[in-house]
Amino acid sequence: MIDKHPLSESGNVISRRRFLALVTHGGWLAAMGGLAYQIGRFLGGRGLETGPSPVVAAGTLDDFLPETTTYVPEARAWVHNNAGDLAALDAVCPHLGCLVRQKESGSGFHCPCHGSEFGPDGELERGPAQRPLRPLTVQTKDNAVLIRT
Ligand code: FES
């Protein structure tokens, strides 16, 4: 006759040691998966996130008045018109991905999440971000403004 554990009707008993090992290893796997995901996000793994299409129609030239900075939500970008030359910056903070806002002074950007500051050309002024805002390519076709994200 086969001995059965008194608490098991099927005879399949997991020892306490085996159960704790399974829970511990499962916890480690979950933690490592979460860590790998966060590292990928931090390093800019664009494949890990869903975002706008690579080329975004941002409007017409008339939408960007000279000497103004305009936010284009479809591209998550800030577009500055400097005497007719359009320049765009990625509005995604290089720290952890919040959207930067224009400073109250109108010159430069700040991140509401952890306080990084960027100059009007996206240069890093204050961390915790370690990199400047990413410049984006702006193209005009006829009267349309296109931003490559
Ligand atoms: S996400 Fe911008 S400073 Fe942290």
Return the structure tokens found at 43. 């390093």
Does ligand 1 come within 6 angstroms of the Cβ of 95?
yes
SS3 content of the chain, % helix, strand, coil (to 5): 20, 30, 50
Domains and CATH numbers, the chain: 1-50 (no CATH), 55-148 (2.102.10.10)
Q: Give residue 56's pLDDT.
A: 85
Round the average pLDDT of the chain to a whole number and report it. 85
Which residue's C-alpha comes closest to atom 1 of ligand 1?
96
Does ligand 1 come within 6 angstroms of the Cβ of 93?
yes
Instruction: Give residue-wise pLDDT tens across range 42-73.
Output: 776 555 555 555 888 888 888 888 888 999 99
Q: Model pTM greater than 0.85?
A: no
- Give the E-state strand segments of 1-76 in sequence order: 55-60, 69-72
Does ligand 1 come within 6 angstroms of the Cβ of 127?
no
| Tens-digit pLDDT string for the chain (149 aa) | 455 555 555 667 788 888 888 889 989 999 999 888 888 777 765 555 555 558 888 888 888 888 889 999 998 999 998 888 899 999 999 999 999 999 988 889 999 999 999 999 999 999 899 999 999 999 988 888 889 88
Q: Give residue 115's pLDDT.
A: 94
Q: What sign results for the dihedral spanned by CA atoms 113, 117, 120, 121?
A: negative
Separation of alpha carbons 49 and 41, rounded Å: 8
Whether the CB-CB separation of 79 and 88 falls below 8 Å is answered with yes
Beta-sheet pairing, 69-72 with 77-82: antiparallel
Q: Give residue 37's pLDDT.
A: 84
